[in-house]
Amino acid sequence: MENLKGMAWMTLAMFGFAVADAFIKVAAETLPVGQILAMFGVGGTVIFGIIAKLQGVRLISPVLLLRPVMLRNVAEMGATICIVSAIALVPFSTFSAILQANPLIVTLGAALFLGEKVGWRRWTAIAVGLAGVLIIIRPGLEGFDAMVWFAVFGTIFVSIRDLATRPVPNTISASQLATYSMASIMAAGFAVLAYTGGAAMPSLAIWGVMAAALVMGLVAFLAITNAMRTGDISAVTPFRYSRLVFALIIAVVIFDEQPDLWTLIGAAIVIATGLYSFAREAQLRHQARATPAN
């Protein structure tokens, strides 16, 4: 039952993220990327700051200077700039398919920088999964859109953020980290807006769209936090890929996109290798628990 609850929370989180991305894409039709980031960052900082204060968390704290926290905040800035740019400039289905490579890149980074042991099977899965990303973007071939690099680099920055989160002490609450992340997004938004210009007064409808994006993002954050605290990680984590299902439905129904065959093949390869990597990690963890200590 706990696993089922965890799966439900993870699915809700992925639905929330996909819908929030869709709202941002709608807003990007009339607002520049920097303004979207600034508006989202201001709203998120206020909401998560209030939550942190209600929990008795000190926001102005020396933890801001911890190396993992600083790296996480910088990666958050890079991730949001690239991802919102990708949402604005790249087909919704393509962006969402590339983003599914995040777990594989996290596994790669954990092996290279955090000393995590990765066997040849998972190395093979990583290589095949990254080949799937190349199939999606098809660099150098006819129809290649250079804007997809925003999605690629956004996925890399998200993976760096996730890796930087691992060494963060457990004494630092999720609401505290979320407040710092949103403040970083706010700063990135104002910096991008100062460079590009083009700020516009949002219409009442766009204010509503941005508010809906923020609410769905908040729901997704709370849901994924509950998901990772409920049930077995090996059972819950694969449901991250439900985000692509929701994104493809949104792309076809809302944005009238028709994902091509190669995008679907590449996405299937990325998801299959990611699921295999999760399954292999769970198997090794089970074997380690079953082996008696000498």
For the chain, the average pLDDT equals 89
pLDDT bucket at 76, cuts 50 / 70 / 90: very high
Highest mean pLDDT among 232-236, 253-257, 285-289: 253-257
pLDDT bucket at 124, cuts 50 / 70 / 90: very high
Question: Which pLDDT does position 144 carry in this prediction?
Answer: 77
Distance from chain centroid for Cα 63: 23
The residues near 253 (Cβ < 8 Å, ≥ 6 apart) are none
237 compared with 239, residue with greater pLDDT: 239
Work out the average pLDDT over 210-229: 87
Question: Which pLDDT does position 169 carry in this prediction?
Answer: 86
Compute the Cα dihedral for 64, 67, 72, 74 and give only its sign.
positive
Distance from chain centroid for Cα 52: 22
Please give the model's pTM, rounded to 2 decimal places: 0.89
Burial of 215 per CB tally in 10 Å (0-12, 13-18, 19+): middle
In angstroms, the CA 100 to CA 133 distance is: 9
pLDDT of 294 over the 70 cut: no
In angstroms, the CA 82 to CA 156 distance is: 10
Work out the average pLDDT over 235-262: 91
C-beta of residue 96 within 8 angstroms of C-beta of residue 243: yes
In angstroms, the CA 208 to CA 152 distance is: 29
C-beta of residue 96 within 8 angstroms of C-beta of residue 248: yes
* Residue whose entry in the numeric block shows the structure tokens 């690629």: 152
